Every structure is written in C-alpha cells, then in structure tokens.
Amino acid sequence: MDNNKSLDYLFKPKSIALIGAAHSEEKLGGVILKNLLKFRGRVYPINPKYGELMGLKSYGSMRDIPEAVDLTIVMRPASEVPEILNGLAGKSKSVIIAASGFAEIGQTGLQEEVKKIGEDIGVRILGPNCMGLYNPYHNLDTFFLPYERLKRPKKGNVSVVSQSGAILSCLLSAVRETNAGVSKAIGYGNAVDIDELDIYEYFAGDKNTDVVISYIESLGDGRKFIEKAKMLSAKKSLLILKAGKGASGQAAAFSHTGRLAGKYEVFHSILKQFGIRETADFDELIDAVKALSYQRPAGGNRVCIITNGGGSGVLAADECVIQGLEVAKLPDDKAEKLRRVFPYFYGVNNPIDLTAQVKDEDYITALNELKDDYDGFVIIALPNVMGITERLADMIKTVRPDIDKPMVFHIPRNGVAKKLISSLEKIKIPVYPSPERSVRGLKALLE
Amino acid sequence: MDNNKSLDYLFKPKSIALIGAAHSEEKLGGVILKNLLKFRGRVYPINPKYGELMGLKSYGSMRDIPEAVDLTIVMRPASEVPEILNGLAGKSKSVIIAASGFAEIGQTGLQEEVKKIGEDIGVRILGPNCMGLYNPYHNLDTFFLPYERLKRPKKGNVSVVSQSGAILSCLLSAVRETNAGVSKAIGYGNAVDIDELDIYEYFAGDKNTDVVISYIESLGDGRKFIEKAKMLSAKKSLLILKAGKGASGQAAAFSHTGRLAGKYEVFHSILKQFGIRETADFDELIDAVKALSYQRPAGGNRVCIITNGGGSGVLAADECVIQGLEVAKLPDDKAEKLRRVFPYFYGVNNPIDLTAQVKDEDYITALNELKDDYDGFVIIALPNVMGITERLADMIKTVRPDIDKPMVFHIPRNGVAKKLISSLEKIKIPVYPSPERSVRGLKALLE
C-alpha cells in the first residue's frame, strides 16, 4: 500500500486497540489508556483480567473486539511481542510497539523476528522501543507519559520526528515553551519498519506542517535519506539535529537504538552540499524552530539592528558576522533624515543606538524609514529604562502589515517585560533572551 | 594614592553627594536618589531649587555641604560637567560621571578636558557615559535604573565589570536568573581614568569575589591588560566576553564608547596563550558563571554521564567531545557490580542509561560506585517519568559531602520539575535546560 495512506492509519486512526491496558496510571498501560480517553474514535482496551477499564468496556483479546482496527498499541514486555503480533493478522492495519528490550540491548534475534512477522502479516510497525505519537488535530495521544509529567504543546505548525523518546519529550517541552504549537509528533525508536524516511514523506504532504524537526542518531540507507530529506526540505523547513557525532556519542547511540551512527563528518558535509539544514545543538535548534514557526522564511542577508543598549547592539552585530549576515550601512539619505528627527546623541549608524533615553515610538520611526532597505530586523529593547513600555507591542502590531520582512526581538528574560514579550509573541514576533540568539533566530528566517 | 585604597572611596564610601538630585523617579537624578536611600552612610542631595528631597535635606551646591565626601555622583548634562568637576577640588575623593555626550559622539575635546581636570584636582573619575556601581555588601546602588526595571541580584560571589551599561544590566539580570549573587558590579563607560585594569586589581583583592565577569569592547594598553588579566586569573575565575569581533561590531563599539576595538584575532590568541578564559557569547558566559559561582573549579577531564533518557545522554556525550572532555569507559569491576544491581535493560556504559524505568535512588547507586573514578558528573533527570521525584534533591544532598567533585544537572525547563530544580540549586548544584549547556557548565569547572 502507498506509504502515506498506510501511515494515515497510524496518524489518523478511526479505531484503536490497546493491548496491555491497565486500570490506573501507576502502570504505563493505564497512562496510555488515560491519554486515549480524549480520542474521539473507538477505543478497545484489552486486558483479560478486567471487564471495564476507566469507564470503557475491556476485552479479553484481539479476537473479542467487534472490528478490525486501524491502530493497535502494544504495551507488553518484549518477550510477548512476537505472539501478540501474530494475533494482529487481519485485525489491525498498524501497530505501535512501545516496549524496549530489543536490538538496543543486544536482542537482535527478537527484533528480526518482530520485523519478519510484521512483513508476513502486512501490518505497519512503529518501534519497538519507541514513544508513539501525538496528533492534536486528531485528539490522538499514544504516549506512555502522563500529561502532568509532559504538558503537551497546543496545535500548531511544527512536526517532530525523533528516534529517541527522551529527546522527543524534551523537544515538545521546548516547543511549548517557545509558544509554538505542534502538528504531529512521533518517536520511531528502533525502526524495524516505519523510519524517518517514511515519516518525511508523510510530513511533506501534511497541510498543517510548516516546520519539521528531525532528531537522528543513526541512519539506515544514507542515499535514500538524502533523497527524502531534499524532497522534504523543498516543501517544508526541515531542521536536523544529529547526535552521535564523536566516538563517545556514537557508542552511546548504538547502545540506545541498536543502529550504527556512521561517520558524522560525512553526514555533515553531504547535508551541507545539498542545502539541508543541520543545527549544531539543542538550543540552536529550538531558536530556529521558534523563528520558522512564527514567520515565513525569506531571502537576502542585509540586517538592520535597532537597539536601546549600545553593548547589546555590538554583540548582535558580531553574531551577524559569524552567521554570514551583513550589517549594511544605512542609506545616506535615510541616515540624514533620521539624524534630523532623533536627538543628537542617538547613534544613527547600523546598529541604530536609541540609548537609554529611548521612547517606544523611536523604533517605529526607524522601522518605517528603513523597511525597504533591509531584508530583516533585529530589535533590541532593554526594559530597564522607563521609555520601554508595553505599548511597543501595539505599535509593532500596527506597522507590521507594512513591514513584510523577518523581524526578531531580543528582550532579557528578567521578569520586568513579561507582558511585552507575550504580546509580541502573540503577533508572531519571536523574542529571544540574548542578542546572539535573536540573530540566530533571524538567520534561520533568511536562509 | 594606592589604586585599591582610592577605589575604596568608590566602592565603600562613607559619604556621598549627588549633584543633579531630583524629587521624583521621573528624572534620572530622582532614580539615583531613591536607590541611595538604602545606603547607610551620609547622603547629600544637591539641587538649588529644593530644600528637601525624598526626606533628605537638600543643598544648593558642593560648597554648602558640611564635609568633604568620599564619592560624588554627577547626573547633569555633559556640557556642565567640566565646571562641576572643578568645584569638587578638595570636596570629593572620587566621582561618577553618568552623562553621555563625550567621545562616543565625537566630543573628544570635552572628554579630554574632563580627564585633565580630574588629574589636576586629584579626584578619581568613573565614566563618563557610565552606569555607576552596585555593592550589596555596602548597601550601595548608584544606578540610574529604577529597581522595578532592573531587579538587583542578591549578595554573592560574582563581580561584574562592564564597559557597557546596557550589558551590565543584562548581566545582572542573567546572574539573578541563575540564582547566583553579586559581590560588586560596575560600569566604567568611556574610562577617562578608572578602567578595567584598575578594577581587575581591586577585584583581585576583594574577599567576597570568587568569579569576575568582564565585558570589554575596546582596550587601552594591550600589554598592561594581559598583565592584569593574568594576575586576576591567578586569584579568581575571570571570564571575559569581548565584543567588537568583526568589522561591523568594531564600528558599533567605536560609536558606543569612543575607543577602538582593535584586531580581535590578536586579542583572542593572546588570551588563549596566557590561559585567560574567554567565552564565545553571552549565553556561554552565563552558563560558566553559574557553575563557577556554585562550585569550586577542579582539575581533570574524565566525565561520567548518568541519564534516564538515552538521546539526552548521546547529546551530552557529543558535547563532551567538542569541549575536550573524555567520556571515559566505566572501570570493568564497577560496571560488573552495577550490572548486578540494576535491571538487565539499564545501559551500564558511559553514559549510564537508567531508561524510563528509572528510580531516584539509581542515580545515587551509580554516583556512590563511581565517585572516585571520574573528575566530574553530568546528571540528566528528565522528569517526564514517574520515577523522578523531588526526593532526588534530598538524596543528592545526603551524598554530596562524600562526592567532592564538580557535578551539574540537566533538567528540561518545562514547569514540571520547578521544585526539584530549586532544591538542587539551593545545595549549589547548577541545573541547565539542555544537555549541551550542562556539559559546558561542567567544562567551566574542569578548566
């Protein structure tokens, strides 16, 4: 069957069976069942010991449920998985195997057996040793993590695909913290069947996805990977975080998912050659995701920095150079005009230094004058002076339709400007806690 | 006079005059006066228009105050400064000139005049174009920023010296956010007299200072700088953040403080040669400050990573390699012992992977076994699973006296583990929001 159609059973099932359902959140099978209660389709808990679980009728086995389901979630120990899988023939279109205890601890025979059964019975497998998935557009949440322990992000345009469940959960927390939202999130673990390539193909066709985060420890077929990553990059903003870079990381990656990490330098240079974006670390990834989820990427590399703190402007200008962005001189006529309207002690260069005597409207004056001369704007508003107020967000909101260029803010995270930051982020202006990080955010939009 | 003795008048005055005092916080002279109300020594507001300001007797001029003061703060426009300075002869030991409008906007003549008057009348000058200083051990706060706009950090062991006032305020916000505290903070601006070298010498002898942050845009005498920086590095943990690295940043730095930034590459390689620490950006600086302010630096480079999330361990291991830290293999006997006590599916390698089945006490088991085999520990506790609880901080507290090695945590900042994070930081274990940043924190302690 067509990959995307078969993955629809996984991402948008109409019916779900849960093998290993439990009655309380003290067991992982109970956590999953609770998370499935929000699902609007049919849910069949399976546990021979109970007649009812969390208000739902419980079934003794897959044979007892009244239909073939789109998705089965298996929350039973590794050793039981082959027999359970055999019982899914004709009863389920896809299956999530959450349990660990396969190739990652040397049980490659068991993993091969699972893979073969899946092929034989024609069921698409996610896992084993995986986190499952989250699709808020479909009220679907198969994670074995309680909501109180991992607050899910809201609906949005970021999709996450991660080999590691731990990193998936960290990415979701970080996306939530940036006030961005998620379209789909999936942890594929040991990838005996569904891997990053299948998921890339699926996300490429997902209308709710604008940005894709992909955390990778190891690859199967490198050539196919490049092909799919290129295809996805052409349609969405794909950001790759590769782990297992050095020898230590590679050893750790192997014992974690049982696939070899391969030579990182090769991977890195091939990605670069094909223009596929790789981020250096977790924080850089999240800063880029924030920008790309808020605003549409654009071309060019000429940046204007407007600041009320000289030193912060210097740090931003330095980072622009590191990122290959040009802090281009103001056009002479515009500079002359700004010198006439601003107090004599403002610095009318690039960065424009509005000094500690700044007023909110000065930013707007500068932006209106320069909106056609630059490709992107870094705005630094240190709220330690009285001239920076919450009105700045309203003013930006008013002029924003006329300034259709990438625009990021740096405002220190010191509690003083909480409302200003949240108002700016509501109108999709990302705010960063340091000058350098704001420049890196802008860089993501200008690539 | 001896540098440190004359700087005592600045950092620990017994009496202060404020020229340009105002009656409300709408004026900068009012902000400073309000901040001086906490000072326990004598304060003389000077403003000929008032008899009383904020409950203090106000004076018409310096001639009217009943004593020669240790420190005078001048909050008047640049053009008035020379005359005001002349009036300080014999009336003040030191002076802070806050106003801008000197070399940074091309008024080099005015700046030279100020410098010369200071030398003639034998008064030490901080500034002009500077933020002033904060010494919580002396209840002294001369900043022209209202407390509500810049919440000051508590007393602590970090001293900050910054050419830029804006960066000084950002650094103080960041130090406060790390739950570290400040010994002394000073912004020296255009540095006609007191510069980073004088302040390095002073901080070297300050018993409350363990860590010094120095933000530099431009230098006077490079040779002397290296000499003083070496001297300070030998006594305290000195961390330098240099701005004005590229051509854009250098131009910005010049228009900001009127001193040339110089060739960055030369500066960078000389610092490296003399073992003086430079941090790459604002965030890396703060991460290092947090670690060094919490714990004593130590030698060695063998790191043990203990995690409950495989992928997070891999990212940490990668960053160790980048930072030149060795993720050394577990000793065979210890590994064997841990394999006996841990469930079979735990990964007993380095990183040690306690998996999603982790319990708090597993970290303690591993730490007790390995405390003598490594130079530092990175502990990753993802709180998305039920086995991580607030008890972990108590357990660490109990074993900490027996594990006298640098130790850092990574816990994602997702709101779930707020109490755990705050309990750990109370016992001086720094917690970082990403695996990579926790490794960089540990690196600062192992340098």
Amino acid (one-letter) located at B127:
G
Q: Are A124 and A193 in contact (CB under 8 A)?
A: yes
A310/B166 CB distance under 8 A: yes
Check residues A393 and A221 and name the one with the higher pLDDT. A393
B106 touches chain A (CB under 8 A): no
- Are A104 and A128 in contact, with CB atoms under 8 Å apart? no
Q: A130-172: per-residue pLDDT in tens?
A: 999 999 999 999 999 999 999 999 999 999 999 999 999 999 9
**pTM for the full model?**
0.94
Q: Which of A170, A311, A436 faces B167 most closely, judged by CB atoms?
A: A311
Listed range (A252-266, A312-326, B68-82, B316-330) with the worst mean pLDDT: A252-266
Shortest Cα distance, chain B CAs vs residue A195, angstroms: 17
3-state helix, strand, coil in chain A (%, to 5): 40, 20, 40
B351 touches chain A (CB under 8 A): yes
Q: How far apart are CA B445 and CA B18, in angstroms?
A: 42
For testing the chain A interface, which of B314, B319, B353, B411 should be mutated: the one with the most A CBs within 10 Å?
Answer: B314
Task: Answer yes or no: do B166 and A312 touch at CB < 8 A.
Answer: yes
Predicted pLDDT at A246: 74
pLDDT at A179 over 90: yes
User: Is A181 an interface residue toward B (CB < 8 Å)?
Assistant: no
What per-residue confidence (pLDDT) applies to B260?
52
User: What's domain A298-445's superfamily in CATH?
Assistant: Succinyl-CoA synthetase domains (3.40.50.261)
Inspect the interface and report whether the beta carbons of A344 and B105 lie closer than 8 Å.
yes
A426-435, B197-206, B254-263, range with the lowest pLDDT: B254-263
Q: Is A387 on the interface with B (CB under 8 A)?
A: no
Distance from CA of B297 to the nearest CA of A (A): 24
Q: How many angstroms from the chain centroid is the CA of residue B177?
A: 11
Residues facing A135 on adjacent strands: A140
Give the right CATH number for B1-130 from 3.90.110.10, 3.40.50.2300, 3.40.50.720, 1.10.8.10: 3.40.50.720
Inter-chain touch B321–A437, beta carbons under 8 Å: no
- List alpha helices for A205-278, DSSP H: 222-235, 247-257, 264-273
The token pair that represents B171 in the structure block: 């650094």
Q: Which CATH number fits domain A1-125: 3.40.50.740, 1.10.3720.10, 3.40.50.720, 3.40.50.620?
A: 3.40.50.720
Helices and strands (H and E) in chain B: how many? 16, 20
- CB contacts of B436 in chain A (<8 Å) are 281-283
pLDDT tens string A189-244: 999 999 999 999 999 999 999 999 999 998 888 889 999 999 999 999 999 999 98
Residue B427 is classified by DSSP as T
**Contact: B249, A105; criterion CB under 8 Å:** no
Domain boundaries, chain B: 1-130, 150-294, 296-445
Q: In a 3-state reduction of DSSP, which class is residue B45?
A: strand
Rounded to a whole number of angstroms, the distance from the CA of A173 to the nearest CA of chain B is 6
Element (H, E) at A408: strand A407-410
Measured CA to CA, the distance from residue A74 to residue A142 in angstroms comes to 10
pLDDT in tens, B364-418: 999 999 999 999 999 999 999 989 999 999 999 999 999 999 999 999 988 789 9
Q: What percent of chain A has pLDDT over 70?
A: 96
- Which ranges of A103-195 would DSSP assign to H, the alpha helix? 108-121, 165-177
**DSSP assignment, residue B326?**
B
For residues B400 and B394, give the distance between their C-alpha atoms in angstroms, rounded to a whole number. Answer: 10
303-332 of A, contacting B, C-beta below 8 A: 307-315, 317-322, 326-327
User: What does the DSSP assignment read for B48-75?
Assistant: TT-SEETTEE-BSSGGGSSS-EEEEEE-
Of B104, B248, B257, the CB nearest to A321: B248
> Of A217, A283, A416, which is closest to B436 when you measure between CB atoms?
A283
Q: What is the mean pLDDT of residues A404-432?
A: 95
∠ CA B107-B113-B119, nearest 5°, is 140
Collect all residues of chain B within an 8 Å Cβ-Cβ radius of residue A253: 314
Inspect the interface and report whether the beta carbons of B321 and A282 lie closer than 8 Å: no
pLDDT at A248: 65
Report chain B residues whose CB lies below 8 A from the CB of A415. 151
Nearest CA in chain A to B314: A249
pLDDT band at A345 (very low <50, low <70, confident <90, very high): confident
Query: Which residue of chain A is at minimal alpha-carbon distance from B328?
Result: A248
Q: Is the dihedral of CA B349, B355, B360, B362 positive or negative?
A: negative
The pair of three-digit structure tokens given for residue A91, joined into one six-digit string: 């009863």
* Residue A48 confidence (pLDDT): 95
Rounded to whole angstroms, the Cα distance separating B350 from B266 reads 39
Amino acid at A116: K
How far apart are alpha carbons B21 and B33 in whole angstroms? 6
What's at B284, amino acid-wise? E
* Identical fold, B1-130 and B150-294: yes
Helix B165-177 and helix B282-294, axial crossing angle in degrees, nearest 10: 50
The Cα A296–Cα A219 span in angstroms is 30
Cα–Cα distance between B232 and B161 in angstroms, integer?
Answer: 13
Residue A258, pLDDT above cutoff 70 = no
* Interface pTM, i.e. ipTM: 0.93
Answer whether B149 sits within 8 Å of A383, measured CB to CB.
yes
The predicted structure's pLDDT at residue B252: 67
User: Using an 8 Å Cβ cutoff, are A138 and A162 in contact?
Assistant: no
Residue A261: pLDDT above 60?
no
Quote the percentage of chain A above a pLDDT of 90: 87
Nearest to A382 among B169, B282, B312 (CB): B169
Nearest chain B CA: its distance from A434 CA (Å)? 7
A14 versus B260: the higher-pLDDT residue is A14
User: To 5 degrees, how large is the angle CA A117–CA A121–CA A124?
Assistant: 85
Q: Are A87 and A63 in contact (CB under 8 A)?
A: yes
Report the mean per-residue pLDDT for chain A: 94
Residue A31 has pLDDT above 90, yes or no: yes
Q: Which helix (H) or strand (E) segment is B86 a member of?
A: helix B81-86
Cβ <8 Å between B283 and A434: yes
DSSP string, B168-231: HHHHHHHHHHTT--EEEEEE-TT-SSS-HHHHHHHHHT-TT-SEEEEEES--S-HHHHHHHHHH
In CATH terms, is domain B150-294 a member of 3.40.50.261?
yes
Give the tokens for residue B203: 């901080």
Give me the residue from A150, A281, A344 closest to B436, CB to CB. Answer: A281
Please report the pLDDT score of residue A249 as a whole number: 65
A2: closest CA of chain B, how far (Å): 31
Please classify residue B334 by burial: count the beta carbons closer than 10 Å to its beta carbon, then call 0-12 exposed, 13-18 middle and 19+ buried.
middle
Q: Is A212 on the interface with B (CB under 8 A)?
A: no
Q: Which of chain B's residues have a Cβ under 8 Å away from the Cβ of A254?
A: none
- CA–chain centroid gap for B309, Å, is 32
Inter-chain CB proximity A177 and B413 less than 8 Å: yes
Contacts of A221-230 with CB under 8 Å at 24 or more apart are A221/A197, A222/A262, A222/A267, A222/A270, A224/A197, A225/A196, A225/A197, A226/A270, A226/A271, A226/A274, A226/A276, A228/A196, A228/A197, A228/A200, A228/A201, A229/A200, A229/A271, A229/A274, A229/A276, A230/A274, A230/A275, A230/A276
A285-297 tens-digit pLDDT: 999 999 999 999 9
CB contact residues (below 8 A), chain A span 8-67, against chain B: 26
- Nearest-CB residue to A311 (from B243, B246, B414): B243
CB neighbours of B85 closer than 8 A, spacing ≥ 6?
A: B74, B95, B97, B114, B117, B118, B121, B123, B125
- Partner residue opposite B414 with nearest CB, options A176, A251, A349: A176
Cβ(B442)–Cβ(B376) below 8 Å:
yes
Q: What is the pLDDT of residue A259?
A: 59
| Burial class (CB within 10 angstroms; exposed 0-12, middle 13-18, buried 19+) of A30 | buried
Q: Is the peptide bond before A351 cis (omega within 30 degrees of 0)?
A: yes
Whether B250 shows a pLDDT value over 80: the answer reads: no
At A262, the pLDDT band (50, 70, 90 cuts) reads low
Strand A92-97 with A69-74, pairing: parallel
Asked whether B77 and B102 are in contact (CB, 8 A), the reply is no
Contacts of A350 in chain B (CB under 8 A): 248, 252
Query: Is pLDDT above 90 for A186?
Result: yes
pLDDT in tens, B270-315: 899 998 999 999 999 999 999 999 999 999 999 999 999 999 999 9
- CATH number of the domain at B296-445, out of 3.30.565.10, 3.40.640.10, 3.20.20.140, 3.40.50.261? 3.40.50.261
Closest chain B residue to A187 measured between Cα atoms? B311
Instruction: Give dist(CA A62, CA A308) in Å, integer.
Output: 66
**pLDDT of B256 higher than 90:** no
Q: Is B414 on the interface with A (CB under 8 A)?
A: yes
Question: Which band of pLDDT confidence, cut at 50, 70 and 90, is reported for residue B251?
Answer: low
Question: In whole numbers, what is the pLDDT of chain B averaged over residues?
Answer: 94
SS3 (DSSP) at B415:
coil
Environment class of A263 (CB within 10 Å of its CB; exposed 0-12, middle 13-18, buried 19+): exposed
By the CB < 8 Å criterion, does A414 face chain B? yes
Query: Average pLDDT, stretch A379-389?
Result: 95
Residue A64 pLDDT level (bands cut at 50, 70, 90): very high
> Collapsing DSSP states into helix, strand and coil, what is residue B164?
coil
Residue A278 and residue A214: Cα distance in Å, rounded? 9
Residue B279 and residue A287: Cα distance in Å, rounded?
A: 20
| Distance separating alpha carbons of residues B264 and B244, to the nearest angstrom | 7
What pLDDT is recorded for position A447? 82
3-state secondary structure of A306: strand
Q: Which residues contact A148 (CB under 8 A, 6 or more apart)?
A: B416
Segment 256-295 of chain A within 8 Å of chain B by CB: 256-257, 281-283
- The pLDDT of residue B249: 65
- The string over A382-418, giving b where at least 16 C-beta atoms fall within 10 Å of a residue's C-beta and e elsewhere, is bbbbbbbbbebbeebeeeeeebebbbbbbbbbbebbe
pLDDT tens by residue, B81-97: 999 999 999 999 999 99
The torsion region of residue A110 among left (phi > 0), alpha (psi -120 to 50) and beta comes to alpha
Residue whose C-alpha is closest to residue A368's, from A328, A340, A409, A396: A396
In the predicted model, is pLDDT for residue B104 greater than 90?
Answer: no
Say if the Cβ atoms of B345 and A101 lie within 8 Å: yes
